[in-house]
Amino acid sequence: MIRPVSLTLAMLLLNGGLAHAAPTTPVAACASASDQKMITLVADFEALSASRDPIRESGSGNLAALAQWPDDSVSTLKAYGKALNGLMTRLTAIPANSFCPDQALNQALIRDRLQLELDGLRFDEARLPFNTGDGFYTVPDYAAAGVVLRTEPEARAWIAKLKALPAYYATETDNMKRGIATGFMRPKLVAGKALAVMEKHAAQPVAEHSLLNPLKNLPDTIPTEIRAELVAEGMQIIATQVRPAEDALVAFFKTEYVPKAPDSIAIGDLPDGKAYYQYLIHRNASTDMTPEAIHALGLSEMKRIRAEMDADIKASGFKGSFAKFQTFIRTDPQFIAESPEDYYAKVSAVLIRVQGLLPIYFHHLPRQPVTVHEVDPQLKSSSSGYNPASLAQGLPGTVVINTDHLDQSPTSGLTAWTLHEGLPGHHLQIALAQENDALPKFRRRDDINAFVEGWALYSEHLGVEMGMYRNPYEDFGRLSLEMWRACRLVIDTGMHTMGWSRDQAVACLRDNTGLSDRAIQNEVDRYIGWPGQALGYKIGEIRIRQLRAKAEAGLGPKFDLRDFHDEILKNGPLPLDILSQQVDDWIRRGGR
C-alpha cells in the first residue's frame, strides 16, 4: 500500500546494483499545431493539479506551497470544477487523430483524469474527508515527516503553515457538517476510530509535538539563535493556535459526528450511495465491472488459490486440516520475529537478496535507493507500506514497517510483502516513473490505483519465477496474501452493496487466509472506511498477467520478459484499458 509521503531518517541504504538508467519513451516529432496545443494543455493541467496538492508541491522548493494546506472549501471546489470543465472543453476541441503518439497518449490520460475529478465533484466527496485511521487529520503528520527545511525562508514558511492549520481544520469541519446535514457520512465504526487517533494526537505535549520536528531539525547553516527563535515561535503557535484547533476537532467528533454517524457499514446505503460505489470501482479498480461481477471474480480466484495452498500444505509434510495449518503458521515460534530488530533484519535480507536478481528480469532499474524504516510513532495505528522518494528533498523511497504486536505479524508472508512494497514492486515502479524525464510531470507522479497496486501484486507472483520463496511455508505465505486480495473482491462488494455484515467479512478472511486476528480486524475496518480501494490490487494484477499471457502467445519466441516489463512500466501508471491498448500495439509491432 502506498503511503502519502516519505519519512526521514532511513535505517538502511540499499543502492548497490541499482544504478541503471530509467527507461524512456521515444521522443516523437511533436510539432503540429495540435501537438503544441496539447503541450500547452498539459502544462495547464499540471499547474491546476499542483494548486490542489500543496503538500506534494512543498517538497519541490515551492515556498508558497510549503506555507499552505489543501483547500477543500466550497468556493475553491466550485472554481476547481470550472477550471476542469475549461480544460475538458479545450481538450475535446483538438482533433483526436492529429497528434504524435506521445501527445495522443497524454490526451487520453488527461481526459480520463479530468472525468474522474469532475465525477468526484458531482458526488461532493469533500463531505467524506477521512477513512479508517487516515484522512485530513493525519495530513499534518505526513507533511511534517516528509519535509526537510534547509533555509530560514523555508522555516518561516513552515511557521506560516502552522498558523494556517486551524483554518484547514475548520474547512474540513464545515464539509463534514454538510455531510451530517445530507446524511452522507462515514459509519460510526470508522468515525470512532478516527476520533481515537485525533485524541492521541491532541494529547501530545506541546514541546514534543510532531509538527515541531521540522524546526527542531534545522541545519547548522542557520545561526543558533535564529534556530532557537524559530522553535520557540513554533511552540507558541502550537500552544495557542494548533492545540485549540485539535481540541475543537475532538469535541466536534465526540458531540456531533460520532453520535450522528450511521450504524450501517455499507456505502451503498448512503444517498446516491450505489452510484457513488460504482464510481469508486471505476476510480480505484480502473474498470466498469459491476459489484456482482467483481464478487463472482473474487469467488473464482479464491477457489483457484485454495487449491494451490492445499498443495503447499501437502508439500510441507504437515499432518492436519487447513484450519490447523493456518493456526500453525500464525502462531508457531519459527514464524514470529524475536524482536523489532529481527523483523527489520528479515525485511532487509529480502531486499538485499532480490536486488541481485533484478537484472535478469528488468532492463532498467531505478537510481534511487530503497530504505527500511519504522513507522512514525504518531502513525502507529496505521498500517505499514511504502513511502515514495522525494527527489527534491533528497529522501529515498522507504519500505515502512510496523513492529507493534510482532506476535500478530507472522513472517511466513514477509518475503511476498517485501517484494510488493519494495523491489520489484512499488519502489521499482514508482522510482522508474519519477526518474523518467521523457514523461510529463503528471505521468511521473500519477498514482492510478489499479496499475500501482496491480503491479505490486504481480511482483509478488514474479517472486516465484525469481526463486524468492525458499520453502512451502514462504510460498503459502505468498498465496495467503494473494487469497487475501481475492477475498477483498468478495468482501468489499459484499459489505457495500450486498448486505454483508462485518462478522461475515471477518469470517471470510479468517477461514481462507493466514492473516492474524489483529490483521483481519484492521483489514475489514479498512474496507468499511475506504470503499473500493482494495479492489484495485487483484483486478490490476489479473489484467497485467493476462497481458503477459497474450504477449507470450502473440510473440512466441520473440517474447522477452524484460522487454514486456519495460513496456508495462515505461509510460508511467496507466488506466488498465489504456495499458491494454499500449501492449496490444507493442505486440503488433513484434515486441519492439
Nearest-angstrom CA–CA distance, 15 and 158: 31
Note if the bond before 187 is cis, omega within 30 degrees: no
Closest by Cα among 116, 41, 109, 52 to 80: 52
pLDDT at residue 16, rounded to an integer: 39
Nearest-angstrom CA–CA distance, 138 and 198: 8
pTM of the predicted model as reported, rounded to 2 decimal places: 0.91
Give percent of the chain with pLDDT exceeding 90: 86
Of the listed ranges 31-40, 212-221, 342-351, the least confidently predicted one is 31-40
How much is the average pLDDT of 371-379?
81
Task: Check pLDDT > 80 for residue 383.
Answer: no
Task: Check pLDDT > 50 for residue 399.
Answer: yes
Q: How far is CA 331 from CA 197, 256, 327, 410, 469, in A?
A: 29, 42, 6, 7, 20
CA angle 497, 498, 504 (to 5 degrees): 120
Task: Check pLDDT > 80 for residue 321.
Answer: yes
Q: What would the pLDDT profile of 218-271 be if each residue is shown by its tens digit? A: 999 999 999 999 999 999 999 999 999 999 999 999 999 999 999 999 999 999
CB 333, CB 525: distance < 8 Å: no
pLDDT at residue 143, rounded to an integer: 94
Q: What would the pLDDT profile of 422-462 be if each residue is shown by its tens digit? A: 999 999 999 999 999 999 999 999 999 999 999 999 999 99
Looking at residue 11, the DSSP 8-state letter turns out to be S
Non-local CB neighbours of 468 within 8 Å, separated by 6+ positions: 350, 353, 354, 357, 415, 419, 474
pLDDT at residue 8, rounded to an integer: 29
pLDDT at residue 220, rounded to an integer: 97
pLDDT at residue 515, rounded to an integer: 86
Q: Which residue has the cell 503458521?
A: 329
Q: What would the pLDDT profile of 23-72 be if each residue is shown by its tens digit? A: 444 444 577 889 999 999 999 999 999 999 999 898 777 999 999 999 99
Q: What would the pLDDT profile of 154-164 be if each residue is shown by its tens digit? A: 999 999 999 99
Where do the domains of the chain lie?
33-279
**390 falls in which pLDDT band (50, 70, 90)?**
confident
Q: Where are the beta strands (DSSP E) in 264-396?
A: 370-374, 385-387
**382 falls in which pLDDT band (50, 70, 90)?**
low
pLDDT at residue 85, rounded to an integer: 99
Q: What would the pLDDT profile of 486-527 be if each residue is shown by its tens digit? A: 999 999 999 999 999 999 999 999 999 988 888 899 999 999
What residues pair up with 372 in beta bridges, in sequence order? Answer: 399
Distance spanning both ends of the chain, measured CA to CA:
32
For residue 339, with 0-12 CB atoms within 10 Å meaning exposed, 13-18 middle and 19 or more buried, which class applies?
A: exposed
Nearest-angstrom CA–CA distance, 451 and 459: 12
Nearest-angstrom CA–CA distance, 579 and 592: 16
Nearest-angstrom CA–CA distance, 160 and 515: 44
Nearest-angstrom CA–CA distance, 527 and 522: 9
Which uninterrupted H or E stretch holds 301? helix 291-316
CB 38, CB 103: distance < 8 Å: yes
Nearest-angstrom CA–CA distance, 466 and 475: 12
Beta 130-131 vs 370-374: how paired, if at all?
Answer: unpaired
CB 154, CB 66: distance < 8 Å: yes
Provide DSSP, 208-262: G-GGGHHHHT--TTS-HHHHHHHHHHHHHHIIIIIHHHHHHHHHHIIIIIHHHS-
How much is the average pLDDT of 552-567?
98
pLDDT at residue 80, rounded to an integer: 98
Specify the 3-state DSSP secondary structure of 360. Answer: helix
What's the grid cell of residue 529?
472506511
Nearest-angstrom CA–CA distance, 550 and 437: 30
Nearest-angstrom CA–CA distance, 270 and 260: 13
pLDDT top residue among 566 and 592: 566
CB 56, CB 41: distance < 8 Å: no
CB 1, CB 386: distance < 8 Å: yes
What residues pair up with 134 in beta bridges, in sequence order? Answer: 131
Which uninterrupted H or E stretch holds 449? helix 449-465
Average pLDDT, rounded, for the chain? 93
Nearest-angstrom CA–CA distance, 188 and 527: 14
Task: Check pLDDT > 50 for residue 11.
Answer: no
Task: Check pLDDT > 80 for residue 289.
Answer: yes
pLDDT at residue 394, rounded to an integer: 79
- Backbone region of residue 532 per phi and psi (left: phi > 0; alpha: psi in -120 to 50; beta: other values): left
